[in-house]
Homo-oligomer: A and B are copies of this chain.
Amino acid sequence: MSEFFPGIGPIKYEGPGSRNPLAFRYYDADRKVLGKTMRDHLRFSVAYWHAFRGSGADPFGPGTIVRAWEKGGDPVETAVVRVHAAFEFMRKLGTPYYCFHDRDIAPEGKTLAESNRNLDAVIKAVKQKQDETGIKLLWGTANLFSHPRYMNGAATNPDAAVFAFAAAQVKKMMEVTLELGGEGYTFWGGREGYQTLLNTDMKRESDHLARFLQMAAAYRKEIGLQGPLYIEPKPMEPTKHQYDFDAATVIGFLRRHGLDGVFKLNLECNHATLAGHSFHHEVELASREGMLGSVDANSGDTLLGWDTDQFPMDPARRQ
Contact = CB atoms under 8 A, between A and B. Distances in A.
Interface of A: 56-64, 145-152, 157, 159, 161-162, 165, 190-191, 195-197, 202-203, 235-241, 245-246, 248-249, 251-253, 255-256, 273-278, 280-281, 284-285, 288-289, 301-305, 308, 311, 313-315, 317-319
A273 B245 CA distance: 14
B237 A161 contact: no
A256 B128 CA distance: 47
Number of copies of this protein chain within its complex: 4
Contact of A150 (B61, B150, B159, B235): B61
A238 B317 CA distance: 19
13 contacts: A61-B151, A64-B148, A151-B311, A151-B314, A151-B318, A202-B285, A240-B304, A245-B248, A249-B249, A251-B252, A275-B276, A278-B303, A302-B303
Contact of A197 (B61, B150, B248, B280): B280
Contacts of A58: 59, 238
Given A148-B61, A276-B303, A202 B245 contact: no
Contact of A276 (B147, B236, B237, B253): B236
Nearest to A301: B240
A303 B157 CA distance: 24
A23 to B, nearest CB: 20
Please give me the 7 A-B residue pairs with the lowest Cβ-Cβ distance, nearest first. Answer: A252-B252, A203-B288, A302-B302, A248-B249, A149-B319, A64-B148, A61-B146
B195 A152 contact: no
A305 B305 contact: yes
Contacts of A273: 303
B284 A197 contact: yes
Given A159-B319, A165-B319, A305-B305, 15 more contacts: A57-B59, A58-B59, A59-B59, A157-B318, A161-B319, A197-B281, A197-B284, A236-B276, A240-B278, A240-B303, A241-B277, A248-B248, A248-B253, A274-B276, A277-B303
A238 B146 contact: no
A304 B60 contact: no
A235 B276 contact: yes
A252 to B, nearest CB: 2
Given A159-B318, A197-B280, A276-B276, A61 B147 contact: yes
B318 A149 contact: yes
A107 to B, nearest CB: 13
